[in-house]
Chains A and B, each alone.
Chain A
Amino acid sequence: MIWGGLLGVAAVLALMILHDWRAMPSYTKREKTAYGVLTGLGAILAILLVINPQMPGPTQWMDVIYKPLVNLLEKLTVQRSG
């Protein structure tokens, strides 16, 4: 399953780069760097997500930050429905 996922990620990235390859010579150096960095970030994140789909994401980080406010809101809900 993991290998299939990794293969899928590689295939998508390969198709994407292949598609942009023709236009590559017209990009400036800065644009090529930006393309490379963003694609690299995407590749890393994709591999991490394939290996561990339950990896805590931005939503969980926000849950931690906004815990007090969320608790307040949920108390309101309980009062309304109870």
Chain B
Amino acid sequence: MVIENGKISAPQIGKMIYLAVTPTAILSTPAITYQFAKQDLWISPMWAFSGVIAIWIALSIHRLFPGENLVQAGERILGRKLGKVFGLVILLYYLYLGGVIVREYGEFVVGAFLVQTPLLVVSGSMVLVCAIVVRSGVEIIARFADVFIPVFAMLFLLLIIPLLPDLHILKMLPIMGEGIGPSLSGSVVLQAWFSEFLTVSFLIPFANRAEKVKKSMAITLLAVIVTLVSSNLVTLLLLGELTGNYNYPFLIVARYINLADFFTHLESLFMAIWVLGAFVKICVFFYVTAMGAAQWMNLREYQPIVFPVGFLLLLMSVWVAPNLQELTHALSTSIIFSALTVLVCIPAALLGLAWIRRQWGKKNLQD
């Protein structure tokens, strides 16, 4: 069933996934990672196991069932009823993660900039804009990613370069003073973000040349790792042991910049990065939820249900946590494990099952 007529290119998928992973990772992970990894927090993003596994699962499933996403393949592998249950779990989890992202966006904007504005107004207007974009189709989201990636990269460099003279290399010593243990346990938090790479499974079916996606995903993974290593490194070298004390260390880093008393308050640049990035990120998650839900219900097109799904997304953003502390706590505890379960373990089991069935089927044919 064709539910989306748009075609996107492999680099566009890479850019969408990059923006669907990085923005919130820059914002909230340094503080949480620091609790585990201390001065090794810049090594942690290199342990991107779940990212590699998630990409591999998504690509393998697409190879077995060309042109189908994870939820559709699940129905083929598990049969209709079990497949529907599997699809519901994945889609509800995407709705939940979408809610978490909208909430993170809202909490950050309200906490750091629009102090007087109600949270619901900030997150509600974002969901509304995203709903309009999602309704326009996957090509539009892909073009937004195309346009925003250069801006994102430029603003990111604009934040890092003025800081270079103020960094104290000594703050990163001792490197791996206690072996690789601390950096590994610090990376546990990041696995939740890396497992979001599974989203590529929902985008490959729209690729005009699916065989090129593998390469662009490898580049994307590398780009995400480089971005996180550099943002964590800059945070660490500037703030040192204070990194763990802030909710948003990178915002503090941006505030610190002062060039000749002329370039100050560069946190507005960071705000721009954050709004652009969060916008694409919410769009991607919103799109996966709405499109997947339409497929799940065997609809002809997904556009009609975009606004109701958006309303649910907004409610979910209220429902996920009573306040910012609870949200941060959840991000560093149960969300990691649930993301690993739903986005890595369950799809991996599904892939294993598909392989077993395929082998079994071949044997039966030979007999």
Contacts and interface: CB of A to CB of B under 8 A. Distances in A.
Decide if A and B are genuine partners.
Answer: yes
Interface of A: 12-13, 16, 19-20, 23, 27-28, 30-32, 34-35, 38-39, 41-42, 45-46, 49, 53-55, 57-59, 62-63, 65-66, 69-70, 73-74, 76-77, 80-81
B335 A62 contact: yes
A46 B320 CA distance: 13
B182 A80 contact: yes
Given A34-B297, A45-B312, A74-B333, A20 B307 contact: yes
Interface in B252-301: 293-294, 297-301
B172 interface: no
Contact of B96 (A38, A39, A58): A58
A73 B308 contact: no
Residue of B293, B308, B336 contacting most chain A CB atoms (<10 Å): B308
B338 interface: yes
Contacts of A28: 299-300
B298 A30 contact: yes
Contacts of B293: 34, 38
Contacts of A16: 307-308, 311
Contact of A63 (B185, B188, B299, B330): B330
Contacts of A32: 304
Contact of A54 (B300, B312, B322): B322
B36 interface: yes
Contacts of B309: 38
A31 B337 contact: no
Interface residues of B, number: 36
B191 to A, nearest CB: 12
A20 B35 CA distance: 48
A38 B3 CA distance: 19
B318 interface: yes
Nearest to B308: A38
A80 B321 CA distance: 27
Interface in B307-354: 307-309, 311-312, 315-316, 318-322, 326, 330, 333-338
B296 to A, nearest CB: 10
Contact of A39 (B36, B38, B308, B337): B308
Contacts of A20: 304, 307
Contacts of B322: 53-54
The 6 closest A-B pairs by CB, nearest first: A38-B308, A57-B319, A62-B334, A42-B311, A66-B337, A70-B333
A49 B308 contact: no
A58 B320 contact: yes
18 contacts: A12-B311, A23-B304, A31-B301, A34-B299, A35-B308, A38-B293, A49-B315, A49-B319, A55-B319, A57-B319, A59-B320, A59-B326, A59-B335, A62-B338, A63-B330, A76-B36, A80-B182, A81-B35
